[in-house]
Amino acid sequence: MSEENSTKFICSFSTSDSNTDMSAARSLRSEDQFMCSICLDVFTDPVTTSCGHNFCKHCITQHWDTTDLCKCPMCAEIFDTRPQLKINTFISEMVAEFRHEAQQKASSSSSEQQAAKPGEVPCDVCTGTKLKAMKSCLVCLLSYCDSHLEPHLTTSRLKRHQLIHPVDNLEDRMCRKHDKPLELFCKTDQTCVCMLCSVLDHKTHEFVPLKEEYEGKKAELGKTEDEIKQMIQKRQLKIEEMKESVKMSKDAADREKAEGVQVFTALKESVERGLEQLIKEIEDKQKTTEKQTEGFIKDLEQEVSELMKRSSEVKHLSHSEDHLHLLQSFSSLKAAPPTKDWTEVSVRPPSYEGTVVRAVTQLEETLSKDMKKAQLKRVQQYAVDVTLDPDTAHPELILSDDGKQVHCGDVWKKLPDNPERFYRYHNVLGKKSFSSGRFYFQVQVEGKTYWDLGVARGSINRKGKITPSPQNGFWTVWLKNGNEYEACAGPPVRLSLGSRPEKVGVFVDYEEGLVSFYDVDTAALIYSFTGCSFNDKLYPLFNPCSNDGGKNYAPLIICPVNQTV
């Protein structure tokens, strides 16, 4: 090699700053700097042509042996005579140093890597201990650890290979019939095929590159993933809903248990009080009998004592020889003794017949009252705040400012005929509707001769003739003529009440299909609609009815719940 060319090559590797750290320069070296452009590998016996390009000695010699012209493969400079090539010792030393650094790096990398664990893909090139593979090559069909992967990252012809995350069974990526890589996707048979399959077994089918089908399927998987996420979210929400239901059920169970303990404790105390009263009544009768008997016995014993004294005197006198003394004492002894006629006197045991029956009957009445009170307390815990809706009120109705009272004024007011307003009957609804759960409200009906109370569907007829019944969306109880009570059950059910209610409680269990009416003051159940099917929003319904000549002027009053019944 000429001095000029050597200088060119040396200058190409020289640094512009004499103070540059050589170790930093070495760290910038890569395989491309020492690559032969013919064999695309690191130089072996590097030589330099007169044009300044470097090749493996064997590669450039073989190249010139196969061509008529002797020219540089890189710049195409033609040489009149074949140059006499000598090994460039500088490049040779640099290549040797590069190989040494590469080996050290590979050795260091190998020492840092860990052996493949069960379930991890091992390196196919490692001998002895198989290190964990970092990539798999779809062209080589081999998996490589860091050190054995290096050529695929630095060598140009290997850089073209397709690397993926390490996978097992790379042979499954080869066509079992033609031993060729699976590179195409047959859309007709929905399977992966090789190039030969496409021209032989599947020649009439539709094909796309694996990457194209991959992108399509990946997009589908994205949609599927979103759908699955939505399904997961729905199920997680359902889980939370069920947990909340269980919590609500547990809370309800705890309340019921506490209430049950309270009720049965009260019942137990009532039974114990009843038993104490029964025993006391029986004992009192027995004590009275014993006291009376003791008095009789005391009187009899006193008389017996007196009679025994008289008997002794009579006996003594009868044996007397003193004629005068006997005659003088005879009159006083012969007189009737001071005794009472005990013939009709007797001690009769007290009669206990009916005592237990009366006690049990009284206990049953007490328990019945307690049970009624407990039942009313139980439904009162679902009390809601009800306010009248003026937009639904019949034009003759007069509502209080707070929306808690209503009565009929017998004067037709000019109001908008909106769809919600009742026009034929004196009805008004509560503002709030209910479509689930339980609710309770109570209304004062004192002083009225007519009224109608209950709940109704939001879809009921508000303009024309209405027959209140469950079939028409009404669950109500009404009073007429001052003392006639009926449940509007279609046909109506006549109710016989023990007393006139002054406050009426209305309880609804939407899911159970139950509407119950209570006399709040006596805690008595007035009537229950059971097995109802609502299927709509329910509204509290109030009808104070007409004035009945002034007799029915008192208002219906929505009153607060007092649970001290």
Distance separating the N- and C-terminal Cα atoms of the chain: 120
Query: Which token pair is 26?
Result: 């070495």
Cβ neighbour number for residue 82 with a 10 Å cutoff: 11
Q: What is the distance between the alpha carbons of residues 555 and 443, in angstroms, rounded to a whole number?
A: 10
Which SS3 state, helix, strand or coil, does residue 459 take? Answer: coil
pLDDT in the model for residue 48: 92
- Name residue, tokens 């390196």: 123
State yes or no: cis peptide before 491, omega within 30 of 0.
yes
Position 80 scores a pLDDT of 87
**Single-letter amino acid, residue 400:** S
Q: Is residue 526 classed as helix, strand or coil in its secondary structure?
A: strand
pLDDT of residue 362: 81
Query: Do 38 and 60 form a contact (C-beta atoms < 8 A)?
Result: yes
Output the tens digit of pLDDT for each of the chain's 565 residues: 444 444 433 334 333 343 334 343 444 456 667 888 888 788 889 999 989 899 999 999 988 888 888 889 888 888 888 888 899 988 888 888 888 777 676 556 555 567 888 888 999 899 888 899 999 887 888 899 988 998 998 888 888 888 888 888 777 778 888 878 788 999 888 999 988 888 888 888 998 998 888 888 888 898 999 999 999 999 999 999 999 989 988 988 898 888 788 878 877 888 888 888 889 988 898 999 899 899 989 988 888 888 888 888 888 888 888 888 788 777 776 666 666 778 778 877 877 777 778 878 887 777 777 778 878 888 998 999 999 999 999 999 999 999 999 999 878 888 888 899 998 899 999 999 999 999 999 999 999 999 999 999 999 999 888 889 999 999 999 999 999 999 999 899 999 998 999 999 999 999 999 999 999 999 999 999 999 999 899 999 999 999 888 899 999 999 998 754 4
Mention every residue, 6+ apart, whose C-beta is less than 8 A from residue 325. Answer: 317
Which tokens hold the place of 404? 């808690």
- Structural contact between residues 459 and 473, judged by C-beta atoms closer than 8 angstroms: yes
pTM of the model as a whole: 0.49
Q: Which two tokens stand for residue 67?
A: 């061509």
Place of tokens 């021209």: 199
Q: What is the pLDDT at residue 255?
A: 80
Q: Specify whether the CB–CB gap between 271 and 363 falls below 8 A.
A: yes
370 burial level (CB within 10 Å; 0-12, 13-18, 19+): middle
Tokens linked to 25: 């320069």
Structure tokens belonging to residue 465: 């003739």
pLDDT at site 19: 39
* Residue linked to tokens 């404790």: 265
Q: What's 112's DSSP letter?
A: H
- Give the residue ranges of DSSP H helices in 155-209: 156-159, 195-199
Strand order in the sheet with 556-559: 397-399, 405-408, 556-559, 438-444, 503-509, 514-519, 524-529
Tokens of 489: 């059950």
**Element (DSSP H or E) covering residue 367:** helix 355-380
Residue at token pair 């809706």: 389
Cα dihedral 511→512→517→522 (10° resolution): -120
Q: Both tokens of residue 271?
A: 């039974």
